[in-house]
């Protein structure tokens, strides 16, 4: 309603020069001279000469007044002439302004009947006196009484354009007044805005109780306010509520109890106007006229879309032309043919829950399968909505596989393996000397369409899958790989690297207009009716158009299964099957690599579409198997013991036996297997635990040189194993209770699986399955201990209970007695204090005797021998003791 201010000169009369007074000095000066002459000459004629000055001055003043009056009459006449010309120009200007406004906003009848192309026509509120935007700048005196009437007419003519259309552009109105008057006013404005838009480019929203709106060719919704939206822009919104203090751009008051005329208020100004009104009968006839105009012009109409489209007639139609053409939807003109290869090569489908996204995917797959044999086209179906979306397609021979979120690990594995499928197809093209699959003979390399329902849920499992899809999107076209991705909200889920290669886009109803605009460039998808399941916008060829997608039935899938039954299916699959839940020993390949390696299972490499042997080498960095109870730790070590060609020392959770296994001379190449190493260290004496840990680290470090390898298992890497676990370079991670323990054991963040089956493992970042050994667990290894026979030679025995031992051994016929006994017995028994008190006897034993420490501690050993060398742990069996002989201590078995 507002216009830029224009400054126009307002003619007036020039300002009169200041009026001068009577020239008194000039009149009196000649008179003074005449008096002087009369005094000097005494002539009366001298006095007459003095009277000439006043007479001349008076005549000059009278003449100046007469000239000024004549000039003013001339200036007034000129100002009146110019004011008359300005009045005519302003009249012409107002008429031109009215014509321009009429062209910009014709009345409703003219808009409905017009055949011009819809443009940026503005909404006409009615007619009234519009401000002209003219500011008059006075030139001269415009307040003269002679000009008052003419100036008033010019000011009145120039300040307001009478009878002009009151127009508004994209605006929000608040219409206040009696309800019938407001409704009639809103109908007129909504119909004007709808008439200015193609049916496919606008959405009309009206309140309940306006049945004429359904006759419009535009999509119509029911709402609280009156609205017309186009390309995501709100052309018009009319509400009937005005909160005090709320900022509103335009308020229209259509009348009140005082009978004041309608006024429109905007930007602090107010304009009285005559509103445009439309009754329901006139609205109905206008809606019918708009629908007729749309049909005559061939414009697509939302009302022309069917509410339901069966798929069967589309499948029975002749095959459409194109590489991957299929008809699975209809628009106002008939079936819509989409070529996934030419229009894609990839597609994205967005839609909220209940909009028909899964049905669309099923219909598209069936439409593609109807005209392409299994040998030329295959599908990988990824269902992350519970596993039932693609159930009707399970028996279709084109389907290479269906994976779902019921087995998330298999789904992510299948998608990851598609990188290997890319490489395989590249090799096939290189072998044939072709640059793209289109250059190959038909059937030599089948196209593969990867269909994903709920893409967001899939990539949430593993962030690396985003990179897989980016790779597929970038290289898929030439290799015959196509993506059809379904998601509720593509924004923030599908990366730009993927979207950049997707030109085929379908958007069903979405809840957020921003999602529609981000995907389709228009907010129209957010306004699709919820009851029209399958209604969508199809973005193809740079333009979005409304379509109704087809719905399939079980008979459609059954008919296609019968049609293609017996047709050859390519033997190649886009991924290998997952590793079996149980892998027998007989399924393992022969040992590979260096002679110290042993194959104990298979490693899954889905990205390479192959399995490789799980070969371990305990002689290069040791092997630590970590897993919870029942995860398969003992089975893994037992499998290693069966397939290695080295001598095996299987050590149970006994620190003494483990020590002996590590210090005993190797039998050629020897493998020490310590099952439950964490428990073994935990039950050891704290001092011996540290010494045993140092021995374990040294064994792992020197394994290649000594020929003594080490493999161990543990439930976790913390606790007693903390100081030792860093020595093991090779980790085989079985199921662990928590992600934290998995990470502490050396696993990766995404490698933890709480449901990992027994024997399932992570080996160097890849999934693996351990084989089940064909025989039992090896028997525990036992050290060959030296017997200390008390009946042979002399012995010095240290025990915390000497009297008890003397009584027991004497009963067995052993010559035993306490220290200091006379005669001296063959076996002298005493506690630590007894031996320290008899320093001479202790010194003799140190030099050339044999000392048995039975039931003593390491501190007792140091006190008596003064030796600081590590002590071998003693076993759990009764009668084991330390024997100190020749300055060295060993583990022996006491035989009375």
- Residues forming the annotated binding site? 351-358
Distance CA 794, CA 789 (A): 10
Element (H, E) at 880: strand 880-885
Q: For residue 345, say if its preceding peptide bond is cis, omega within 30 degrees of 0.
A: yes
Strands (E), 140-268: 160-168, 171-176, 202-206, 220-222, 226-230, 233-239, 250-253, 263-266
Nearest in space to 486 (alpha carbons), one of 512, 513, 507, 511: 507
**Which token pair is 106?**
């014709």
Given a contact cutoff of 8 angstroms between Cβ atoms, the answer to whether 525 and 508 are in contact is yes
The conformational region for residue 452 under phi > 0 = left, psi -120 to 50 = alpha, else beta, is: beta
Given a contact cutoff of 8 angstroms between Cβ atoms, the answer to whether 794 and 850 are in contact is yes
List, in order, residues 6 or more apart from 422 with CB less than 8 Å away: 471, 472, 475, 476, 479, 481
Annotated binding site for ATP: 351-358
Instruction: Give the DSSP letter of residue 889.
Output: E
Given a contact cutoff of 8 angstroms between Cβ atoms, the answer to whether 303 and 294 are in contact is no
List, in order, residues 6 or more apart from 180 with CB less than 8 Å away: none
Strand partners, 761: 768
**Which token pair is 614?**
């799980």
**Which token pair is 681?**
């260290």
Per DSSP, the residues of 635-679 read: HHHHHHHHH--SEEEEE-S-HHHHHHHHHSPPSSSEEEEETTHHH
Given a contact cutoff of 8 angstroms between Cβ atoms, the answer to whether 50 and 33 are in contact is yes
Distance CA 437, CA 442 (A): 9
**Alpha helix stretches (DSSP H) within 354-417:** 357-370, 408-416
List, in order, residues 6 or more apart from 25 with CB less than 8 Å away: none
* Strand 171-176 versus strand 160-168 pairing type: unpaired
Grouping H, G, I as helix, E, B as strand and the rest as coil, residue 404 is strand
Burial per residue of 784-801, b for 16 or more beta-carbon CB atoms within 10 angstroms, e otherwise: ebeebebeeeebbbbbee
Given a contact cutoff of 8 angstroms between Cβ atoms, the answer to whether 268 and 131 are in contact is no
Q: What is the number of residues in the chain?
A: 896
């Amino acid at each position: 309603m507002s216009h830029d201010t224009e400054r126009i000169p307002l003619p007036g009369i020039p300002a009169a020069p200041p009026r001068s007074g009577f020239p008194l000095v000039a009149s009196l000066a000649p008179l003074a001279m005449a008096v002087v002459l009369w005094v000097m000459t005494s002539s009366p004629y001298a006095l007459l000469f003095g009277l000439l000055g006043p007479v001349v001055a008076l005549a000059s003043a009278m003449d100046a007044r007469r000239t000024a009056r004549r000039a003013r009459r001339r200036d007034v006449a000129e100002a009146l002439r110019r004011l008359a010309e300005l009045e005519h120009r302003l009249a012409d200007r107002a008429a031109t302004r009215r014509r321009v406004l009429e062209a910009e906003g014709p009345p409703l009848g003219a808009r409905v009947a017009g055949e011009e192309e819809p443009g940026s026509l503005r909404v006409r509120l009615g007619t009234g006196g519009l401000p002209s935007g003219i500011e008059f700048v006075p030139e001269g005196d415009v307040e003269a009484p002679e000009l008052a009437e003419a100036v008033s007419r010019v000011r009145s003519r120039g300040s307001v354009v009478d009878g002009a259309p009151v127009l508004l552009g994209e605006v929000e109105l608040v219409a206040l007044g009696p309800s019938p008057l407001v409704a009639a006013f809103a109908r007129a404005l909504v119909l004007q805005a709808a008439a200015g838009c193609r049916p496919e480019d606008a959405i009309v929203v009206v309140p309940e109780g306006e049945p004429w709106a359904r006759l419009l060719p535009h999509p119509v919704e029911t709402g609280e306010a009156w609205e017309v939206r186009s390309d995501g822009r709100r052309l018009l919104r009319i509400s009937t509520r005005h909160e005090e203090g709320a900022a509103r751009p335009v308020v229209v008051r259509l009348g009140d109890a005082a009978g004041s005329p309608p006024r429109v208020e905007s930007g602090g100004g107010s304009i009285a106007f005559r509103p445009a009104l439309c009754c329901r009968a006139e609205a109905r006839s206008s809606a019918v006229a708009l629908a007729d105009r749309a049909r005559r012009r061939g414009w697509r109409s939302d009302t022309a879309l069917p509410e339901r489209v069966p798929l069967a007639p589309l499948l029975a139609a002749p095959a459409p032309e194109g590489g991957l053409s299929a008809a699975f939807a209809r628009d106002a003109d008939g079936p819509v043919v989409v070529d996934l290869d030419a229009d894609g090569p990839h597609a994205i489908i967005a839609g909220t829950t209940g909009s028909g996204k899964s049905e669309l995917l099923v219909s598209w797959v069936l439409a593609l399968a109807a005209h392409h044999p299994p040998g030329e086209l295959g599908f990988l179906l990824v269902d992350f909505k519970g596993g039932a979306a693609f159930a009707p397609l399970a028996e279709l021979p084109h389907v290479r596989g269906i994976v779902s979120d019921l087995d998330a690990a298999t789904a992510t594995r299948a998608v990851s393996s598609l990188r290997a499928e890319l490489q395989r197809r590249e090799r096939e093209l290189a072998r044939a000397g072709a640059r793209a699959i289109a250059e190959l003979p038909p059937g030599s390399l089948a196209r593969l369409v990867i269909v994903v329902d709920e893409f967001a849920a899939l990539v949430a499992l593993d962030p690396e899958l985003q990179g897989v899809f980016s790779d597929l999107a970038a290289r898929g076209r030439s290799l015959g790989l196509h993506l059809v991705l379904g998601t509720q909200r593509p924004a923030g889920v599908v990366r730009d690297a993927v979207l950049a290669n997707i030109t085929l886009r379908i958007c069903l109803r979405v809840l957020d207009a921003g999602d529609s605009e981000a995907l389709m460039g228009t907010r129209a998808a957010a306004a699709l009716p919820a009851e029209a399941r399958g209604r969508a916008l199809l973005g193809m060829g740079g333009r979005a158009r409304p379509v109704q997608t087809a719905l399939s039935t079980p008979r459609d899938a059954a008919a296609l299964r019968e049609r293609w039954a017996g047709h050859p299916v390519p033997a190649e699959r886009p991924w290998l099957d997952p590793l079996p839940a149980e892998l027998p020993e007989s399924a393992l390949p022969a040992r590979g690599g260096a002679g110290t390696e042993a194959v104990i299972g298979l490693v899954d490499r889905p990205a390479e579409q192959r399995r490789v042997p799980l070969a371990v080498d305990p002689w290069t960095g040791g092997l630590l198997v970590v897993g919870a109870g029942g995860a398969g730790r003992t089975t893994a070590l037992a499998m290693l013991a069966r397939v290695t060609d080295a001598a095996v020392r299987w050590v149970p959770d006994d620190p003494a036996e483990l020590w002996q296994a590590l210090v005993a001379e190797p039998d050629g190449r020897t493998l020490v297997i310590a099952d439950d190493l964490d428990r073994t260290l935990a039950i050891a004496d704290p001092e011996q635990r540290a010494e045993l840990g140092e021995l374990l680290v040294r064994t792992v470090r020197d394994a290649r040189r000594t020929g003594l390898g080490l493999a161990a298992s543990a439930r976790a890497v913390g606790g007693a194993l903390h100081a030792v676990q860093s020595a093991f370079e090779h980790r085989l991670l079985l199921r662990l209770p928590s992600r934290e323990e998995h990470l502490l054991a050396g696993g990766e963040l995404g490698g933890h699986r709480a449901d990992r089956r027994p024997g399932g493992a992570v080996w160097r970042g890849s999934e693996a399955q351990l084989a089940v050994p064909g025989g039992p667990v090896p028997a525990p290894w036992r050290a060959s201990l030296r017997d200390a026979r008390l009946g042979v030679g002399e012995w010095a025995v240290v025990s915390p209970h000497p009297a008890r031992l003397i009584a027991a051994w004497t009963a067995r016929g052993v010559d035993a007695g306490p220290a200091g006994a006379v005669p001296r017995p063959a076996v002298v028994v005493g506690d630590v204090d007894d031996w320290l008190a008899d320093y001479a006897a202790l010194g003799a034993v140190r030099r050339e005797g044999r000392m048995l420490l039975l039931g003593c501690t390491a501190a007792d050993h140091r006190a008596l021998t003064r030796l600081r060398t590590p002590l071998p742990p003693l076993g759990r069996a009764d009668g084991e003791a330390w024997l100190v002989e020749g300055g060295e201590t060993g583990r022996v078995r006491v035989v009375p």
